């Protein structure tokens, strides 16, 4: 039985998976209890790690003289390049073919990335790749935690390549726990998904809780804070080991112009997220996130785009645009929108935002 299965069950029982109800489904718990349920005759699990870049891409060219710098958001580093699911699955299929050639016969295999119901970090730790840090990330000494994991289940016996589980090496360090702006760590090694910025901006399908929106800051998709402060990442190599396919495609896939992103149409959005991990996020959720980050930017140049978003077909987008306009003190825009809005939830956001326009000015987010 996986060492962390009981911890996973306690995590589910505490509701820390939030809206990800599928994690508690019997088939998901069964796979995490016994990987052999995912492949008939499974005898071995090959665990691999793929490094992705952890330094920021080169800055965009400076704007022409007199031009404003548009407000930008941040995309988590793993999601800036090619969709890692596609990259990892192709590499694991090639590995499965190599195993069959070495065995001289067909070998039943199943390729797994993070969508498969496995306790993959537990398996990676048992395989000797690294240890699980207090931020729940797998840390490979010498490489750090900017790693993506994949597994190949095989119906053939493979000799183990590691002596066993790696012991945690965090010591008394609390850098990751203390740096989390939403207080998502209930305790070391326990992440409350409902407060994690990655969950809020990717998995959460409804409104982001109002009290957590300021802490989202510039994080449009995902968050790297608990990795950025980890000492094991400070001296880890980057481009020498990072997979080329996972490098940021361009500035718009690392720190996108939010005004432009909020205004793109359906066809443009499909092109933007194509073959990217950003496909995971729905159109409304991406626009919701852009509104929150624009509200946190403190930039009055965002008001026009947010006012247009108040006419969006999605109540989710309109409600977060209202909140953002309140942060920017756009009382007149909110009053006009309140006159025509009929959705009760959006009206409540508009009223709350209008009342906050009289409060103290808010500093812009870090840039």
User: pLDDT for 195-233, tens place per residue?
Assistant: 999 999 999 999 999 999 999 999 999 999 999 999 999
Averaged pLDDT for residues 123-152: 94
Catalytic positions are 114
**Mean pLDDT in the chain?**
91
- Token pair belonging to 58: 């080169």
**Whole-number Å distance between alpha carbons of 110 and 112:** 6
Q: Is-contact 53 247, C-beta < 8 A?
A: yes
**Of 216, 356, 346, 362, which is closest to residue 293 (Cα–Cα)?**
216
**Whole-number Å distance between alpha carbons of 46 and 226:** 28
Averaged pLDDT for residues 306-335: 97
User: pLDDT for 45-55, tens place per residue?
Assistant: 999 999 999 87
pLDDT at 245 over 80: yes
Locate tokens 């207090």: which residue? 134
**pLDDT grade for 23, boundaries at 50, 70 and 90:** very high
Q: In angstroms, what CA-CA distances link 222 with 86, 293, 343?
A: 19, 12, 29
Averaged pLDDT for residues 150-173: 86
**Whole-number Å distance between alpha carbons of 233 and 222:** 18
pLDDT of residue 55: 77
Phi, psi (deg, nearest 5) at residue 197: -60, -35
- 339 in helix, strand or coil? helix
User: pLDDT for 173-193, tens place per residue?
Assistant: 999 999 999 999 999 999 999
pLDDT at 361 over 50: no
**Of 115, 288, 327, 133, which is closest to residue 204 (Cα–Cα)?**
288
Q: Where are the alpha helices (DSSP H) in the chain?
A: 5-13, 26-33, 84-103, 120-126, 175-179, 197-198, 213-216, 225-228, 231-234, 258-262, 266-273, 283-297, 303-309, 315-327, 331-340, 344-356
Locate tokens 């994949």: which residue? 150
Residue 20 CA to its chain's centroid (Å): 14
Of 114-128, 217-231, 283-297, 327-341, minimum mean pLDDT range:
114-128
Question: What's the residue count for the chain?
Answer: 367
**Whole-number Å distance between alpha carbons of 327 and 324:** 5
**pLDDT grade for 162, boundaries at 50, 70 and 90:** low
Is this structure's pTM higher than 0.95?
Answer: no
- Token pair belonging to 37: 């349920």
pLDDT of residue 241: 74
**Whole-number Å distance between alpha carbons of 289 and 317:** 9
Q: In angstroms, what CA-CA distances link 150 with 13, 85, 361?
A: 27, 9, 47
Q: In angstroms, what CA-CA distances link 49 with 79, 91, 135?
A: 16, 11, 18
- What residues does 74 pair with on adjacent strands? 219
**Whole-number Å distance between alpha carbons of 247 and 319:** 34
pLDDT at 44 over 60: yes
- 77 in helix, strand or coil? helix
With a pLDDT cut of 70, the percent of the chain lying above it is 91
**Of 194, 162, 199, 150, which is closest to residue 46 (Cα–Cα)?**
150
Residues 6+ apart with CB under 8 A from 153: 35, 38, 39, 42, 44, 45, 109, 110, 112
pLDDT of residue 336: 96
Kindly list the strands in the beta sheet with 109-112, ordered across the sheet, starting from the edge strand earlier in the chain.
44-51, 147-154, 109-112
- Token pair belonging to 306: 């947010």
**Whole-number Å distance between alpha carbons of 112 and 150:** 6
């Amino acid at each position: 039985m996986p060492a962390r299965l009981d911890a996973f069950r306690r995590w589910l029982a505490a509701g820390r998976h939030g809206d990800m109800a599928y994690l508690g489904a019997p088939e998901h718990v069964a796979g995490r209890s016994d990987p052999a349920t995912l492949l008939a005759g499974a005898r071995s699990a090959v665990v691999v790690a793929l490094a992705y870049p952890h330094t920021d891409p080169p800055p965009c060219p400076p704007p022409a003289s007199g031009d404003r710098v548009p407000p930008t958001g941040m995309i988590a580093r793993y999601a800036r390049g090619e969709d890692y699911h596609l990259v990892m699955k192709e590499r694991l299929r090639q590995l499965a073919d190599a195993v069959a050639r070495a065995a001289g016969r067909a070998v039943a295999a199943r390729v797994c990335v993070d969508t498969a119901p496995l306790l993959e970090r537990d398996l990676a730790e048992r395989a000797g790749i690294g240890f699980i840090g207090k931020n729940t990330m797998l840390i490979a000494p010498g490489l750090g935690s900017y790693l993506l994991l994949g597994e190949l289940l095989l119906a053939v016996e493979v000799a183990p390549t590691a002596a066993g589980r790696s012991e945690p090496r965090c010591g008394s360090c609390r850098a990751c726990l203390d740096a989390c702006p939403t207080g998502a760590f209930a305790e070391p090694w326990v992440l409350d998904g409902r407060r994690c910025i990655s969950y809020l901006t990717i998995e959460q399908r409804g409104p982001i809780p109002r009290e957590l929106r300021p802490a989202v800051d510039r994080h449009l998709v995902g968050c790297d804070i608990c990795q950025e402060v980890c000492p094991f990442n400070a001296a880890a190599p980057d481009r020498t080991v990072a997979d080329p396919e996972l490098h940021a495609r361009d500035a718009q896939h690392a720190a996108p112009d939010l005004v432009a992103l909020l205004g793109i149409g359906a066809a443009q959005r499909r092109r933007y997220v194509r073959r990217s991990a950003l496909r995971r996020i729905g159109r409304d959720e991406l626009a919701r996130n852009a509104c929150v980050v624009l509200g946190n930017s403190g930039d009055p140049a965002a008001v026009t785009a947010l006012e247009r978003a108040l006419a969006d077909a999605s109540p989710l987008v309109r409600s977060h645009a209202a909140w953002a306009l309140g942060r920017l003190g756009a009382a007149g825009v909110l009053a006009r929108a309140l006159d025509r809005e009929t959705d009760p939830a959006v009206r409540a956001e508009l009223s709350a935002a209008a009342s906050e326009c009289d409060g103290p000015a808010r500093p812009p987010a870090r840039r």
